[in-house]
């Protein structure tokens, strides 16, 4: 019995941990998120085939996009429907990208008017990883589904039109964003 007491007294709770700078933590979490997404896709493809993997990926990425944008909007105190122009939408998309997407992705947003703009993806780590697979041409990019989720969370009605895609052999991805004009004029009774 004495041995048990001695054994217990030798136990020590460890509270120490290694310190990782916040920027490094952010990058690690961003890369993990991207790799979780990639692993989910690969395992779904292996179990259910490429067609179902692409379909499910689009559904899941749209849903994730809404969740991502809601968290960012809430953290900034911006309500659904407050964003009404392409410039404000792109500002929010830049913010979402900065928080969630690793710097290994290179995207720029250009507003052409209050209702139209384009996004250029010059470097896509997802496409780079897809190219390593045996069947890169079977992969259907779901990034616009994520963007649509972001727009829905923002309360923005609009279209996203792919103009160029890495998967089509283009040297970048280019997407045109067209917002439906908001009716700001009210008729008097």
- Taking only the tens place, the pLDDT of each residue in 83-136 is 999 999 999 999 999 998 878 889 999 999 999 999 999 988 888 877 777 765
* Rounded distance between C-alpha atoms, residue 136 and residue 127, angstroms: 8
Q: Could you give the domains of the chain?
A: 25-179 (3.30.1380.20)
Helix then strand count (H, E) for the chain reads 6, 4
Sign of CA dihedral 18, 19, 21, 25: positive
Question: What integer pLDDT is reported at residue 5 of this predicted model?
Answer: 57
pLDDT digits (tens, 9 = 90+) for 10-45: 789 999 999 999 999 999 998 898 888 888 888 898
pTM score of the predicted model: 0.82
Which residues, at least 6 apart from 116, have a Cβ–Cβ distance to it below 8 Å?
86, 176, 177, 178, 179
Measured in degrees and rounded to the nearest 5, phi and psi for residue 132 equal -75, -20
139 vs 133, residue with greater confidence: 139
Residue-level pLDDT at 7? 58
What is the per-residue pLDDT for 38?
Answer: 82
Q: Which residues pair with 108 in a beta bridge?
A: 120
Q: With contact defined as beta carbons under 8 Å apart, do 117 and 92 qualify?
A: no
Half-sphere exposure of 39 (CA within 13 A, CB side): 6
- 8 confidence band (pLDDT: 50, 70, 90): low
């Amino acid at each position: 019995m004495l041995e048990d007491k001695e054994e217990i007294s030798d136990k020590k709770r460890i509270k120490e941990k290694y310190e990782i700078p916040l920027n490094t933590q952010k990058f690690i979490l961003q890369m993990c998120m991207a790799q979780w997404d990639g692993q989910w896709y690969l395992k779904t493809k292996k179990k259910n085939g490429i067609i179902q993997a692409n379909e499910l990926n689009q559904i899941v990425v749209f849903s994730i996009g809404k969740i991502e944008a809601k968290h960012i909007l809430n953290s900034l105190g911006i309500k659904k429907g407050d964003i009404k122009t392409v410039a404000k939408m792109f500002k929010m998309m830049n913010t979402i990208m900065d928080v969630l997407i690793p710097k290994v992705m290179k995207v720029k947003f250009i507003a052409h008017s209050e209702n139209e703009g384009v996004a250029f993806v010059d470097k896509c780590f997802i496409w780079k990883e897809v190219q390593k697979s045996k069947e890169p041409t079977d992969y259907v990019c779901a990034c616009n589904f994520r963007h649509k989720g972001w727009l829905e969370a923002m309360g923005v009605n609009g279209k996203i039109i792919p103009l160029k895609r890495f998967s089509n052999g283009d040297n970048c991805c280019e997407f045109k964003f067209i917002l439906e004009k908001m009716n700001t004029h009210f008729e008097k009774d």
